[in-house]
């Protein structure tokens, strides 16, 4: 079982190398351009993707591998009072879109994470980000789902297993952070 899982991971990473390098490079450039203009990053996901959103935001605001200036990144997944109040008053579908209305300015970037590409609250957040003139990067999987039509760039991990997709999402997030480290240090 252990070897099978490692080989499965390796097969997925090989598919990412074969098909996604240009899109990941484009995502790195969009993030660097956004931060260079003085804009911020907003990130959201559900479940494990919510944890990934927090992880990636922390790497930007703290540091990844080298000392550099603190950079503005907000995980929309961390404020339990906002999450519960918005969900209660507006419905769970609007839990992130309402926060985007509060925090986003034109030129900010929204990183939307959904393994299926179809999470309703992520879809609503992407629509709101577009209305706020934000750039959107999707991290999805399978066939990209509804996110394909809503993201400026949707990086679709070519796999169907949630675990493999999430493993690639955090790897891609770390590549984003490494790119930013090199640019700002």
Bind-site residues for Zn(2+) = 55, 59, 166, 174
> Binding site: residue ranges?
46-48, 55, 59, 88-89, 114-116, 119, 166, 174
- Return d(Cα 106, Cα 171) in angstroms, integer: 28
Fill in the DSSP letter of residue 133: T
Is the CB of residue 28 less than 8 Å from the CB of residue 44? no
The helices-and-strands tally (H runs, E runs) of the chain is: 7, 5
Binding residues for substrate, by number, are 46-48, 59, 88-89, 114-116, 119, 166
List for the chain the helix, strand, coil content (%; round to 5): 60, 15, 30
- 74 strand-pairing partners: 42
* Residue 127: closest CA among 150, 94, 148, 157: 150
Is the separation of the CB atoms in 136 and 31 below 8 Å? no
């Amino acid at each position: 079982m252990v070897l099978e899982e490692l080989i499965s991971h390796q097969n997925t990473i090989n598919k990412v190398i074969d098909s996604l390098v240009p899109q990941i490079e484009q995502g790195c450039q969009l993030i660097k351009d956004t931060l260079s203009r003085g804009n911020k990053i907003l990130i959201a996901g559900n479940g494990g993707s919510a944890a990934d959103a927090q992880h990636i935001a922390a790497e930007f605001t703290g540091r990844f591998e080298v000392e550099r200036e603190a950079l503005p990144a907000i995980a929309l997944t961390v404020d339990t009072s906002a999450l519960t109040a918005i969900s209660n008053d507006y419905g769970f579908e609007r839990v992130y879109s309402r926060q985007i209305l509060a925090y986003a300015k034109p030129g900010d970037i929204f990183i939307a994470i959904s393994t299926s590409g179809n999470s309703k609250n992520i879809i609503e957040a992407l629509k709101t980000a577009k209305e706020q003139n934000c750039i959107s990067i999707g991290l999805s999987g399978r066939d990209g789902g509804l996110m394909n039509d809503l993201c400026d760039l949707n990086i679709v991990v070519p796999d169907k297993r949630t675990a493999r997709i999430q493993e690639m999402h955090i790897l891609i997030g770390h590549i984003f952070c490494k790119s930013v480290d090199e640019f700002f240090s």
